[in-house]
Structure 1
Amino acid sequence: MITNEKNIDSLLAEIESLKNKLDESNSIIEAIREGGVDALVVNNNGVPQLYSLETADYTYRLLVEKFRQGALSITKNGLILYCNDYFAQLVNTPSEQIIGNYIQEYFDNTSQFSTLIEALKYGIGTHEILFKTNSSPTTFSAYISLTDLEPSVEAIGIVVIDLTEKKKHEEALIKHQQELEVKIKELNRINSNLEEFIHVISHDLKEPLRKIVMHNSKIDGSYLTAIDAKSMDVIKLSVLRLNSLVDDLVKYSSHTAQEAHTEVDLTAIISEVTEDLEVIINDKNAIIKIENLPVIKASGVQMRQLFANLISNAIKYSKADTPPVIQIYQVDDLEDKISNQNPKFVRIQIKDNGIGMESAHLLKIFTIFQRLHARNEYSGNGIGLAICKKIMENHSGNITVESKLNEGTTFTIYFPVS
């Protein structure tokens, strides 16, 4: 009975001693945080080791404590001498329970620590490490940056940057990119099918249309009544208009893809266009004025199509009693001249003195099949300006329009400067 009482007294005394040591350790840790301790002695297998804290003044330690990144100091074998509150939050463990442990205990792969120390000898201090945590999720990825603090202090400083949000953004970006690639492939497939469909339809339609026109022309009109002859003319005109519509659809679909861009002299291009349009230019006594047009990087084929549509459009919608005058010129950007900055766009204007249009119609004219006049007033299928818009999109540019009824219309085309 006496022996048991002695054992109990001995255990109580040991507990009291351990409690005093714990209180002393907590006091030292608190003093370190508040800057009241300049050195720390740690017993390693019964051998006292001194760790100087003289270089860490109060302001610095306060800054590190409030840092929004994990901060630690460790010995060469990984013993944690200090950690700030942010690292404690990352691993979801109170800082007083972390100090005195080894940092590799918080690695998901403890064997990585020796690799980090070895790499530090060669000046390599930054790595990506998977840390363990006492919360959900049970691990998190982080950049860990090691700095050898010798000879000032026999310790290694560590900064830990949480990559959780960065990884989430990267994963979301990769997922979005994969979804985008799938959509692009699907869009390319649809475009390819559409082009094939347009060309097949154009071939299948044009052949019967050609036969209708051919056989219509063989009919002897002398045997037809006036009503029948008029009906035959209506059939012929309708077939010709349908044939023209098929041709325009093929042209529109042909500008779905980018073509190789080369040096294109716009003055030379417009000269070729005016030669092609010589008949309608002479019929209307049209005057084409060209002023100081540049050489640009573009598709020569699409530039011919662009200016052919714009010039023929200006001639088509000219006033009945006034010869059309079409001016084509480059516009200098006054703002760029004042600021001495290089222009972002080459700006070309095509200005006419035609019938113009109401402002309410300006947004409609670039829409495919959009017509502002009846067929018996002006010919066309409402595709020309839609082709112009698509050509400018192919060149990463833009086309705009200004117009006043009975005064004329000005188209402005913008080509980005390389």
Structure 2
Amino acid sequence: MIVDDKNIDSLLAEIESLKEKLDESNSIIEAIREGDVDALVVNKDGISQLYSLETADYTYRLLIEKFRQGALSISKNGLILYCNEYFSKLVNIPSEKIIGNYIQGYFDNSSQFTTLIDALKYGLSTHEILFKTNDTPATFPAYISLTDLEPSVDAIGIVVVDLTEKKKYEEALIKHQEELEVKIKELNRINSNLEEFIHVISHDLKEPLRKILMHNSKIDGSNLTEIDAKSMGVIKLSVLRLNSLVDDLVKYSSHTVKEEHTEIDLTTVISEVKEDLEVIINDKKADIRVGDLPVIKASRVQMRQLFSNLISNAIKYCKPNCPPVIEIDQTDNLDVEIPNQNSKFVKIQIKDNGIGMETSHLLKIFTIFQRLHARNEYSGNGIGLAICKKIMENHSGNITVESKLNEGTTFTIYFPI
């Protein structure tokens, strides 16, 4: 009978143990149903394994898993309760090996954790820190944003934003900025030297011009023939115009003087250019035909330089034994639109019957010092058309060229309306 009593006591103890386990299981199930449990730790063969649970918050959990930023939940002392797959990839460690560890162990400077928690009490939730990783490089910069989940949950939510690419762009930007500053300093030095050079050249040019004018005035016109007197007048006018042009070029080259754009009658400008080029026009028997040209807002000095370069070019590259014919006119299609630009433009064409050029040369001619012919064939230093391009850029316009070998060339210039 005593043995039976012992068996009964043993059975009662076993029943009580099973009842406790059942109550524990029921409480766990209830906690899972209420969403209070995120994970379970199961001991098997002395090894603890942690299992995440899918509860009624499945959609929310799926969103966090697909989130392209690291997401974690931690206890107040830093114990990692959950991390998404993206954070796992950032540190290159499987998520099951991250959960259950302390987040400060993944900081490059673990002492920062205390600072983050203290700052959270005062509403400072975003910080920039370095995370350690099992990958190369050994660390990566990140923004870490903390949110206290109380009173709903006794935990802290964390979002981690990888700043690696952003830092690369910032470093590249700083490097380019430093390179740009060096180039700007070099450009300022060159411009300063160029400005001094232009002033020296202008002085050297104006000195002989003054002497020409002085000696011209000493010549007794009464002893000259009518033709000689006329030639002396042409010389005087040319010297005065050249003197004025030197002054204008010095002003144009100066950084301290900004030339205003005023209303310019292009027909008048071309008449002045024809007077400047009178000798070469007569020598080549050039026929310059000017149509109805508009009044535009521009720099008078630069417009004279622009048309002087284009007309002299057309005369220079004429066919042998064939007088050059140059037609300058505004095209019928007003309000021309240029691709990739919002403005509308006035379109003017300068067409000649010269030697033309090959299509492969068209892109080269606007490059400074670019020559298509040997010096013994045609004079010039390859600056003229580069200056034309720069002038059109100064006026927010454009210049293009079309040409056929042995048939002629057409330059088209666009002035914004």
Counterpart code for 1:56? D
Matched with 2:117 is: 114
**SS of 1:140 mapped into structure 2:** strand
Does the CA-based 8 Å contact 2:291-2:329 persist in structure 1?
yes
Measured in 2, the distance between the counterparts of 1:210 and 1:149 equals 89
Classify the secondary structure of the residue corresponding to 2:196: helix
Cα displacement string for residues 47-84 of structure 1 (whole angstroms, at most 9, x for unaligned residues): xxxxxxx3432x65456446553221123554321123
The worse-fitting range, judged by mean Cα deviation, of 306-315 and 385-394 is 306-315
Alignment match, 1:200: 200
Q: Which runs of 5+ in 1 are unaligned?
A: 1-18, 39-53, 219-239
Partner residue, 2:191: 191
Give distance in 2, aligned partners of 1:278 and 1:334. 28
Asked if residue 328 in structure 1 is aligned to residue 327 in structure 2, the reply is no
Matched, 1:398 2:398: yes
Residue equivalent to 2:144 = 144
- Alignment RMSD (CA, Å): 5.2
Matched residue, 1:159: 159
Distance change >3 Å, CA 301–CA 321, structure 1 → 2: closer
For 1:269-308, list aligned pairs within 5 A. 269-277=265-273, 279=275, 286-291=288-293, 293=294, 295=296, 298-308=298-308
CA distance in 2, matches of 1:205, 1:23: 102
1:355 to 335, 342, 353: 353
Q: 1:91 touches 1:135 (CA, 8 Å); kept in 2?
A: yes
Correspondence list, 1:218-229, <5 A:
none
1:226 alignment counterpart: none
Deviation of 1:113 (Å): 1.8
2:355 alignment partner AA: M
In the TM superposition, what whole-angstrom CA distance separates every residue of 1:254-278 from its partner, at most 9, and x where no partner exists? 569797575543xx34144145246
Does the CA contact (< 8 Å) of 2:326 and 2:353 recur in 1? no
TM-score, normalization: structure 1? 0.61
Mapped to 1, the partners of 2:259 and 2:210 lie a distance apart of 36
Contact 1:91 1:131 in 2 (8 A): yes
What fraction of aligned residue pairs are identical, expressed as a percent? 58
Q: Distance in 1 between matches of 2:94 and 2:381?
A: 77
Deviations 1:338-372 (A, max 9, x none): x9x984452522234x4323222655654548486
Give the whole-Å Cα distance in 2 for the aligned partners of 1:411 and 1:97.
72
CA distance in 1 between counterparts of 2:363 and 2:139 reads 57
Once the two structures are overlaid, the 10-residue window that deviates more, 394-403 or 319-328, is: 319-328
Question: Mean Cα displacement is larger for which, 268-277 or 145-154?
Answer: 145-154
Contact 2:318–2:355, Cα closer than 8 Å, also in 1? no
Q: Structure 2 stretches of 5 or more lacking a match?
A: 1-40, 219-237
Number of aligned residue pairs = 344
CA distance in 1 between counterparts of 2:395 and 2:45 reads 76
- Map 1:69-148 onto structure 2 (within 5 A): 69-91=69-91, 95-107=95-107, 108=109, 109-118=112-121, 120=123, 125-133=125-133, 139-148=139-148
> Is 1:145–1:159's contact at 8 Å kept on the other side of the alignment?
yes
Instruction: Report the CA distance shift for 1:128/1:286 in structure 2 as closer, same or farther (over 3 A).
Output: same
1:269-301 deviation per Cα after TM superposition (whole angstroms, max 9, x unaligned): 41441452464689767442124x4745x5454
Distance 1:89 1:362 in 2: 54
